[in-house]
Amino acid sequence: MTAAVQLEIIRRDEGSRARRGCLHTPHGPVETPCFMPVGTQATVKATTPAELRLAGAEIILANTYHLYLRPGADLVRRAGGLHRFMHWDGAILTDSGGYQVYSLGALRKISEAGVAFRSHLDGASVFLRPEDAMTIQRDLGADIIMAFDECAPYPCAPAYAAESAALTARWLRRCLRAAPGGEQALFGIVQGSVFADLRRDCARDLADLDLAGYGIGGLSVGEPKGLMYEMLEAVVPELPEDRPRYLMGVGSPDALVNGVLRGVDMFDCVLPTRIARNGTAMTRAGRVVIKNARYAEDFLPLDPGCACETCRHYSRAYLRHLFQAKEILGLRLLTLHNLHFLETLMREIRAAISAGDLAAYGRGFLAAYGYTDSKEMSF
């Protein structure tokens, strides 16, 4: 079977597992490694699709759980699918809802059949089976859909992690039988908490299923970053070389660099947009908390050298004023900047892979960003 989404590998890095590629999707090519902005409720918060394009995004993520509850998958289907509903003509990946259900904590109950939970909107009882996750994602119409998984909490006992990974594996088989196929590619998800053996077994099992792509889930849930990198080092060698690998929910600049070096092709995270709305910008020199009094009369751009609209047109003093005055334009401009920052980082990473100097680029970037943990940088 030819998957709807195909990874073309363009260049492999010699000193690491990093590779540059192009993910061919029904909604255009996506250069990898890539970062996917998160559009939870069919909008990447505070931005328009045109702004996402300008920032450099070619693929975005939307959340099945949220859209299922509101406005409803059926409505999105009748609107012509998610692309048309939200006016985004690039690629879309929808998660399966598994992670959001996991975040509900005590509000959900997991069984072999699926997950019972209460809606965070109105408290209504909902039961979601792997088959439902497929139907909903079919209606949403994303280019890439994710298998329904259980995301184990951190920390968790080895026995729980093993049981959870096994359940996720059984659910994956049900997803495969219920998957819409056609223009939608199904990715499986490697679980196994922070246990390398478990992760490795899970990856091998998934590799045997010859999936269109592989999510690596259940990381960045509270464990030290070093453990996350160890898991990547255990999982990636087991996955098929020609399939995309997607590290779910990870978006800090240091983790993007370190993830790429360990063979990851795709990332997503609410981090850049969420911290922007709280007034924090990512810059070459580290984080800038714009409300800080030191910026009150600072007429320089947020990140000198950055080419985004925010940095070309507005000063730190103005941005600080907007946040002090609780003006929406402030969080709009920081959101644009942070997305531009991460998309630019990914573009530079891709260029560094092509130029054969990814290690040097990564070290330089992380040092300037104020990130000096040499152990995690040991690539």
Question: Between residues 218 and 301, which has the closer beta carbon with respect to its own copies?
Answer: 301
Among residues 132, 139, 143, 268, the one annotated as catalytic is 268
Measure the CA–CA gap between 369 and 287, rounded to whole angstroms: 8
In angstroms, the CA 127 to CA 31 distance is 37
Residue type, position 375, single letter: K
Give the three-class secondary structure for 341: helix
- To the query of whether residue 74 is one of the catalytic residues in this protein, the response is no
Would you tell me which residues interact with its own copies (CB under 8 A)?
Answer: 41-43, 45-49, 66, 70-71, 75, 78-80, 85-87, 296-297, 299, 309, 313-315, 317-318, 320-322, 324-325, 327-329, 331-332
Return the HEC string of 203-264. HHHHHHCCCCEEEECCCCCCCCHHHHHHHHHHHHHHCCCCCCEEECCCCCHHHHHHHHHCCC
| Pick 29 or 71: Cβ nearer its own copies | 71
- Least separation in angstroms between residue 56's CB and its own copies is 19
Nearer to its own copies, 229 or 318 (CB): 318
Q: Is 192 left (phi over 0), alpha (psi -120 to 50) or beta?
A: left
- CB-nearer residue toward its own copies: 159 or 325: 325
268 is catalytic: yes
Instruction: List the alpha helices (DSSP H) in the chain.
Output: 49-55, 64-69, 73-78, 82-86, 98-103, 130-140, 158-178, 196-208, 225-235, 253-261, 271-277, 309-313, 316-324, 328-355, 358-368
Closest contact distance (angstroms) between CB of 223 and its own copies is 31
We find the least distance from the C-beta atom of residue 320 to its own copies, in angstroms, to be 8
Give the residue with the Cβ less far from its own copies, 191 or 273. 273
What minimum distance in Å lies between the beta carbon of 304 and its own copies?
17
Least distance in angstroms from the C-beta of 15 to its own copies = 42
Question: What's the closest the beta carbon of residue 358 comes to its own copies, in angstroms?
Answer: 36
- Residues 95, 139, 143, 149: which is the catalytic one? 95
- Alpha carbon 162 to its chain centroid, in Å, reads 24
**Residue of 156, 185, 166, 148 lying closest to 64 (CA atoms):** 148
Q: Which is nearer to its own copies, 6 or 40 (CB)?
A: 40
Q: Give the contacts of 21 (CB within 8 A, at least 6 positions apart).
A: 7, 8, 9, 10, 31, 32, 33, 244, 265
AA identity, residue 123? G
Using only C-alpha atoms, the chain has a radius of gyration, in whole angstroms, of: 20
Could you give the residue numbers annotated as active site?
Answer: 95, 268
